[in-house]
Amino acid sequence: MNKEKFQKYLQRIVRRLAIWTIKKYQPGIIAVTGSVGKTSTKEAIFTVLKKHRKVRRNSGNFNNEIGVPLTILGDWDKIAGKYFWLKVILASCLRLIVRWRYPELLILEYAADKPGDIRYLLDIAKPQIGVITTVGDIPVHVEFYSGPEAVAREKAKIIEALSATGFAILNYDDKTVFNLRDRTRSHLMYYGFGDDATMRITNFETRMEGNRPGGISFKLNYGGSFVPVRLDGCFGKAQAYAAAAAACIGIVFGLNLVKIAEALLEYEAPPQRGKLAAGVKQTWIIDDTYNASPLSMEAAIHAVESLEAKRKLAVLGDMLEIGKYTPEAHQRIGELVPKVFGLLVTVGARAKFIAEGAKENGMAQKNIFSFDTAEEAGKAVQDLMRKGDLVLVKASRGIGLDKVVEEIRKI
């Protein structure tokens, strides 16, 4: 049996085992989807609920046709070892024969890399609560769809599958997401900065601790009450959105705002998603290298704009899987760069459009550096860095800018 056939056979097995496991244990299911912010939102929900319910969530990027069933079948954090799949299958069969301890709730991140992905996952695990984070004008993976509207329709399947007793949690500030509200018969809750959001974010600010970025703080307003929230070591409004979505879930499960805010004190941004790291030469790095879309790239730039530093340096790479929107989207990011950063380093062929946009909007050519690969860029970035710099590193995962972070990070 060749590798491709084996993978398909294995996929069918774990899918069937996952369906049987859901049927046997009947856990509550919270499904999270969106083009940006899925993982942060999933982690924030887990943080809010973990002390009050027995919960499990996807590990890492277990959000596809293999990862979601694996999460249902056990608390697996990675696929490793010669006999990994044999262990998974045997353990899953045992849990079907003998009743085992099982989570009360599953928090599952649903990816939609291509049409049909959400339906496939819903056939395995149908949620009672669905969360849609953001879609934006140019969503990630739009290359594989007819356009942004098709991406939104795919994401909407999450809330279309909800019953009348379920809850749809929608980003109030994302027009595309908000306009999906008529696609569900479930109870609706909205989160965001807008005046009419059910869970409204106000008083957002970035905190500095001396010369070190500290994190963000804001207030969550719900039902005429509010509570201050503090998130350490993470930056940008995207993290506030994640906390607000999680707060909506907390309310659904009967928690009050005070308990929700206390739980969020333990929240940590997922790795490579806007995490603060100490850099060489007494610098600071915002590591946002996990993935990138036009919306998340803009959000990261605005997050750095609110931070104080002697000098700010942007290391920006290609945004992949956006198809015909590639030149325009990268150019638009470049237009934002001179307003925030003193130096720009681009990585990848597409990111050269970022460099063009920055130059056309006033950044001097001497402050722009372009490289084809992350390996080439890493050493150059370290040479450019000076004491007191703040460095944003962001691109799609396939560009490998985590290698740049490794090069410039303080060991």
If phi > 0 it is left, if psi is from -120 to 50 it is alpha, else beta; for residue 185 that is alpha
Q: Is residue 300 within 8 Å of 288, Cβ to Cβ?
A: yes
Residue recorded with tokens 């325009």:
328
Residue recorded with tokens 């887990």:
46
pLDDT of residue 212: 86
pLDDT of residue 339: 96
Per-residue pLDDT, averaged over 197-211, amounts to 93
Amino acid at site 56? R
Per-residue pLDDT, averaged over 75-95, amounts to 91
Could you tell me the pLDDT band of residue 251, with boundaries at 50, 70 and 90?
very high
Per-residue pLDDT, averaged over 235-260, amounts to 97
Tally Cβ neighbours within 10 Å of residue 219. Answer: 16
pLDDT of residue 8: 87
DSSP structure class, residue 317:
E
Would the pLDDT of 17 be above 90?
A: yes
Would the pLDDT of 2 be above 80?
A: no
Could you tell me the pLDDT band of residue 345, with boundaries at 50, 70 and 90?
very high
Phi, psi angles (nearest 5°) of residue 56: -140, 145
Q: Is residue 157 within 8 Å of 133, Cβ to Cβ?
A: no
Report long-range pairs for 99-105 (Cβ below 8 Å, ≥24 apart). 99/24, 102/21, 102/25, 102/27, 103/27, 103/54, 103/55, 103/56, 104/27, 104/28, 104/53, 104/54, 104/55, 105/27, 105/28, 105/29, 105/30, 105/49, 105/53, 105/54, 105/55, 105/56
Would the pLDDT of 5 be above 90?
A: no
pTM exceeds 0.85, yes or no: yes
What is the DSSP code string of 184-237?
Answer: --SEEEEEESSTT-SEEEEEEEEEEETTEEEEEEEEEEETTEEEEEEEESB-SH
pLDDT of residue 209: 87
What is the DSSP code string of 244-300?
Answer: HHHHHHHHHTT--HHHHHHHHTT--PPTTSSEEEEETTTEEEEEE-S---HHHHHHH
Q: Where are the alpha helices (DSSP H) in 59-196?
A: 67-73, 84-97, 117-124, 148-160, 175-178
Q: Which two tokens stand for residue 310?
A: 């002697």
CATH of 3-264 among 3.40.1190.10, 3.40.50.150, 3.20.20.70, 3.20.20.150? 3.40.1190.10
Domain definitions of the chain by residue range: 3-264, 275-408
Read off the pLDDT of residues 285-320 as tens digits, 9 standing for 90 and up: 999 999 999 999 999 999 999 899 999 999 999 999
* Residues written for the chain: 411
CATH number corresponding to 275-408 = 3.90.190.20
What is the DSSP code string of 139-157?
Answer: -TTGGGSSSHHHHHHHHHH
Read off the pLDDT of residues 156-173 as tens digits, 9 standing for 90 and up: 999 999 999 999 999 999
Would the pLDDT of 411 be above 80?
A: no
pLDDT of residue 1: 61
Would the pLDDT of 137 be above 90?
A: no
pLDDT of residue 166: 98
β-pair partners for 346 = 316, 370
Read off the pLDDT of residues 313-341 as tens digits, 9 standing for 90 and up: 999 999 999 999 999 999 999 999 999 99
pLDDT of residue 136: 84
Average pLDDT over all residues of the chain: 94
Would the pLDDT of 398 be above 70?
A: yes
Would the pLDDT of 141 be above 90?
A: no
